[in-house]
Structure 1
């Protein structure tokens, strides 16, 4: 079946002898399973795992809580299979993986795990009602992630993605405590959450070149914009390409009482004009995202990083500073060549007038069981204060 761009995808299966069809939706952009069968509480976890590994979607008709338990059982089987594979690999003499190979292998394993677990499907009726026994009320979580576009539709979604919506809804309600703000940021589904507070601290502590005007490039949740406003910057123009991020930032800035200082604009990188301070915290890893939600983490071919650096000089006022917040995690992974960032800064007609460093404090930085621990343990997050070479 050939689908046009404006045609929603569907899953198809047979119930009894009757062909069935249901709209498919995935915020991650995942394609629907090509083959689907109905499943309920009677299916054994091993049988479900075999079908999922074969790429068969399991449209759940049983108890919702039992579906959650089955998903956990599938996850344990995926992890055991990976552990057996790793044990066999270690038993064979071979040269150790480079950091880049370890990273790509880690992502492949994550993608494979996500694909298998994504085969457990949940039906959703109009009004975001899940027609299963013991299903929770998901209207708020679905409305926050999907908006109104799907509200009157019946569709199927993977349980794994649905749980992501539920988790995001809880994060949005609870928020993330930001010490530099003395308050909380409430991230929306699909908007990068400022759980790594060290980069926020850098922006909160670096000396301001001006309090007149600042640009915040890639506003996201609005956390850096809020920090600048709280530090006394009188006017901030904040941009983002994602309408969801702009709405999230607006809500957070309003709650923190600093929205009157901020103008939010949908734009690719810079707004018109010049400013004495331009701040950007681009995605830190120059790899290709596997879903739209990963764009906050992965910057393919360093597009945003290079776009920011190459456009900075023409948007800075004389003696103005561009602040670049970056981690060297990519260098330790072998994804970015040593010296590439410094060369890009020089080619853009810029120079570093100061650099402020901080070590990460999140749990993975000290977790020796993490497959990327060797690189994480060396990571440093930096705020580069940049000026045009002519004005330095």
Structure 2
């Protein structure tokens, strides 16, 4: 059922939340608008059901018209898949005459600069998200979906958004986001096996919605294998900066470190880390703290795995991937020395993907380390083995195939 629009003059009594409006049965209707991407509610909304053809839906979505679904839920999923096929269909290259000259470089002419390819890829991904985000569904106050063959998404929504507020009324959200909630719920139940944590079943990390999953196991293995700095501190203390799921804090604890302080700014991440550490029975060793980068005090070891790409996040949920202006990386480097005990080390986990994409150079990184009063003690490298490394259809395949993940051992320069 759609919610009627508020009576004139009552708007001041409502909380300052985003609202989406539409017309149904000749009545003005409205509901709260939810978007993890931070998207504004669409201005044009039409009702849609199983009779809507995919081509017509695609045209409306590209024009910025949202489709509030009133048909069968599974048919809406199929429509979303049809829209995705249309968005992903390669554009036909324009025909043009080429003039060969003795100085022409065929390889250079045919291959775009890596940074240009990256920015075009991100633009395409943003456009894809906008188009696919135009298929909407309505949730009641308890996160139920009143559509035929709709799944029960109440638990998935509660995990991501918290317990429903009985007086909050209905909400409208993109179908793509609802499917993301369902997928995150399944990942949370199943967990991700992390070899560095030992043998199953006690080696699983359960990511929460909105928290980056440790599917890139190569960087976890680097932390598990690198010898600890022999500071003589007892009990040995380590800081895990930007803990996320808590996987690195768990690995450090399993290595025998007696005290780990794990920090993060995101309440979702801290809740996720708390859950994982409790599952692994490590909660007594790890202190969780909501703060920007460093806790108070000094440690023998400070570990940080910042987002690897220096670009602006397209949505809040992309904050674990993109670090605009390398802010977290630079913040870690600038603040490291005062938080290390004599003989202590900072371990920076960083991929060189940004270098292969032309977003950052190795010279820039080395200069940043030098300018913050640090020196490089050593480095351990490993090759990633995730599926995109082998996917030649990926627009960024060349950069991904050359990628190296490194653990940089840093210490204050004399």
Report the TM-score when normalising by structure 1.
0.95
Q: Which moved more, 1:12-21 or 1:251-260?
A: 12-21
**1:204 corresponds to which residue?**
224
Residues 22-171 of structure 1 mapped to structure 2, 5 A cutoff = 22-80=31-89, 83-84=90-91, 87-89=92-94, 96-148=111-163, 152-171=168-187
1:335 and 1:149, CA in 2 relative to 1: closer, same or farther beyond 3 A?
Answer: farther
1:16 corresponds to 2:25: yes
Q: Deviations over 1:282-310 (max 9, x none)?
A: 00000000100000000000000000000
1:319 corresponds, among 343, 361, 370, to 343
1:172 corresponds to 2:172: no
**1:189 corresponds to which residue?**
209
Deviation of 1:194 (Å): 0.2
Which SS does the other structure have where 1:259 is aligned? coil
Supply the distance in 1 between the matched residues of 2:246 and 2:40 (Cα, whole angstroms).
32
Which SS does the other structure have where 1:277 is aligned? strand
2:404 corresponds, among 354, 365, 380, to 380
Which SS does the other structure have where 1:270 is aligned? coil
Deviation of 1:18 (Å): 1.3
Deviation of 1:95 (Å): 5.6
Deviation of 1:97 (Å): 1.6
Deviation of 1:337 (Å): 2.4
Which SS does the other structure have where 1:324 is aligned? strand
**Following superposition, which runs of at least 4 residues in structure 1 exceed 4 angstroms of deviation?**
89-95, 149-152
Supply the distance in 1 between the matched residues of 2:197 and 2:117 (Cα, whole angstroms).
37
**1:348 corresponds to which residue?**
372
Supply the distance in 1 between the matched residues of 2:303 and 2:57 (Cα, whole angstroms).
49
**1:332 corresponds to which residue?**
356
Q: Which moved more, 1:210-219 or 1:27-36?
A: 210-219
1:353 and 1:153, CA in 2 relative to 1: closer, same or farther beyond 3 A?
Answer: same
1:91 and 1:207, CA in 2 relative to 1: closer, same or farther beyond 3 A?
Answer: farther
**1:289 corresponds to which residue?**
313
Q: Deviations over 1:168-227 (max 9, x none)?
A: 111101100000112100000000100010000000000011561000000100000000
Deviation of 1:90 (Å): 7.6
**Structure 2 contact 138–172 (Cα < 8 Å) conserved:** yes
1:31 and 1:178, CA in 2 relative to 1: closer, same or farther beyond 3 A?
Answer: same
Deviation of 1:153 (Å): 3.1
Supply the distance in 2 between the matched residues of 1:108 and 1:171 (Cα, whole angstroms).
28
Deviation of 1:257 (Å): 1.2
**Structure 2 contact 144–152 (Cα < 8 Å) conserved:** yes
Supply the distance in 2 between the matched residues of 1:161 and 1:249 (Cα, whole angstroms).
23
Supply the distance in 1 between the matched residues of 2:165 and 2:81 (Cα, whole angstroms).
28
Alignment length (residue pairs)? 385
Q: Which moved more, 1:143-152 or 1:10-19?
A: 143-152
1:272 and 1:147, CA in 2 relative to 1: closer, same or farther beyond 3 A?
Answer: same
Deviation of 1:6 (Å): 6.0
Supply the distance in 2 between the matched residues of 1:240 and 1:150 (Cα, whole angstroms).
27
**1:266 corresponds to which residue?**
290
Q: Deviations over 1:70-126 (max 9, x none)?
A: 10111111122xx12xx3158675663200000000010011011000000000001
Supply the distance in 2 between the matched residues of 1:317 and 1:178 (Cα, whole angstroms).
30
Which SS does the other structure have where 1:387 is aligned? strand
Q: Which moved more, 1:360-369 or 1:276-285?
A: 360-369
Which SS does the other structure have where 1:377 is aligned? helix
Report the TM-score when normalising by structure 2.
0.90
